[in-house]
A and B are shown apart, each in its own frame.
Chain A
Amino acid sequence: MTATLTRYTPLLLLAALWEAVTRAGLVPASALPSLDTVAAAWYRLAIDGDLWVNGVSSMTRGGLGLALAIVFGSLIGVLMAWYKPIQIVANPIVQFFYPMPKSALIPVMVLWLGFGDASKIVLIFVGCMLPVTLSAYNGARGTDQVLIWSARSMGASRARVLWEVVVPSALPELLSGIRTALALSFVLLVASELIVARSGFGYMIGWLGDGGAYDSMFAVVLTVAALGFLADRLYLMLMQHVLAWRE
């Protein structure tokens, strides 16, 4: 308990500094609203329901897009490592599009799918799929050949080898690729909502800022940041749990 407290003291110090600087009037409230007005604004948004409605809308988009990216990304990645023809066709395409800054897809998705949910879900799906694909591919490719031969010589079918040998040994790398994708999904979600949307956290941040309601804007920004942090920590715990069989 004291250890955690000592560890997080710097964050408390920063919060105290923020409050002190704004209370003393060193920075205008139009640039930095004090911490307690931000907290009050958060409470108001939570009571009004604005925060929940937009939050559910954002999280649904992010969750669906990421789920699609994980399913298709791992499937393509493992198949690329397993079947040479798929590897020959898919690998150059994956390698070519992988370094593309994914935020460039935002205007295309608007063109294709408009301002609603579909454009965000597909953006996150397409943007997050390649990191997952590549990590699944690299993980599966790194499977110890001896394990595959042993399993085959003991009579396991090819499908069974794929499921019981290749997939588990690809898992550590695949899971860390998914962690990258999780972080990216938040970035793409908030960015696309800031640029064009009619609901969601990013949209809220945009209109609150335009309307000069800076205390509410800070409240939503901090909420999104905290959610991203929490999602990463929860995922990390899940990852350690899933990989507990490794030494």
Chain B
Amino acid sequence: MSAETPTLAPASGIRLDRLAATWGPHAVAALPLIALLLVWEELARSHILSAFLLPAPSVVLDRVWDDAHSGDLLTNLGVTLYRAMAGFAIAAIAGVALGILMARNAVVRWFFDPIVSAAFPMPKIAFLPIFMLWLGLYDVSKISMVVFNAIFPVITATIAAAEGVDGYLLWSARSLGASERQLLREIVLPAAMPQVLTGLQVALPISLIVEIVTEMLMGGTGLGGAMIASSRFADSPGVFAGIVEIAIAGLVLVKGIAIIRRHLLVWHQEAEEPTTV
């Protein structure tokens, strides 16, 4: 992002562009973040806000370090990522499969279309207590909740993608004697890929958001569970350490899928990055 030069903004007096030329755009992008960190540290040290409301970043990072040393961080991060990614993977596979089926089969389409279009905009998080009632408080209910929330953007994107496949490509392949199976693998899936990936890029942050909410509500291990426990014990460094840990995990995952997208779609004229949560 930082490498892009916006066309709109007029030249300013600040010579950060020259700085960027010498130090690289990433170094310049880091400056506001470092400044933010310094302001936070100064604010916390000046005691304008109590250490309870705003623990200094040094204290928070110390806490992250302690969590990492005691092994808590690894356990919690592992559990959270496992459940979020398991749910995301199931939603991705089932969502793409159902989406393609719906695009190709009229009966399947007739049955699922109203269900998908009604469920997509619903706040499905409200169903969480029902999932707890049916599936208990452990991994199964959490992963199911993630699947239930993450699958709809994938289905919708896949249907749109599979329907948008260029008719000429399909006709040419058919007239060259391709079977339906070959058509699916060689034409439909690659042509649908950009939009499907967009759907997955929407579903990934949803998976994390939902996983963290389920942990906060049900407690137990995981980054969300640890945060809510800290908050109950009024342990504010613990809460802020949790924010830092979750923010970094989110950043790595979201940037990771964007990088995978760029690798998979080197052949494709890239569209805009999707607006997600």
Contacts and interface: CB of A to CB of B under 8 A. Distances in A.
Contacts, number: 204
Given A100-B251, A101-B212, A88 B8 contact: no
Nearest to A231: B121
A98 B33 CA distance: 13
Given A11-B115, A81-B8, A88 B14 contact: yes
Contacts of B118: 11, 229
Nearest to A205: B129
A36 B271 CA distance: 48
A110 B231 contact: yes
Interface string B208-219: 111111001100
B133 A84 contact: no
B55 to A, nearest CB: 10
Contact of B123 (A88, A110, A190, A218): A190
B113 A7 contact: yes
A108 B239 contact: yes
B169 interface: no
B275 A232 contact: no
B95 interface: no
Contact of B32 (A8, A14, A88, A145): A88
Contact of A111 (B30, B113, B209, B231): B231
Contacts of A101: 205, 208-209, 211-212, 246, 250
Given A102-B277, A214-B133, A232-B121, A84 B115 contact: no
A99 B126 contact: no
Interface size class of A (residues with CB under 8 A): 35 or more
From A83, A101, A228, residue with most partner B Cβ within 10 Å? A101
Given A7-B113, A11-B115, A87-B6, A195 B216 contact: yes
From B29, B134, B240, residue with most partner A Cβ within 10 Å? B29
A143 to B, nearest CB: 6
Contacts of B272: 138
A195 B277 contact: no
A37 interface: no
A221 B6 contact: no
Contacts of B111: 10
Interface string A168-186: 0000010011001001101
Chain A interface SS verdict (over half)? helix
Interface in B189-213: 205, 208-213
Interface string B115-152: 10010011111111110111000000000000000000
B252 to A, nearest CB: 9
Contact of A84 (B6, B28, B128, B227): B6
A99 B253 contact: yes
Interface of B: 1-2, 6-12, 14, 16, 28-33, 36, 52-53, 110-115, 118, 121-130, 132-134, 205, 208-213, 216-217, 223-224, 227-228, 230-231, 234, 236, 239-240, 242-243, 246-247, 250-251, 253-255, 272, 275-277
Top-4 shortest CB links A-B: A232-B121, A99-B254, A186-B123, A84-B9
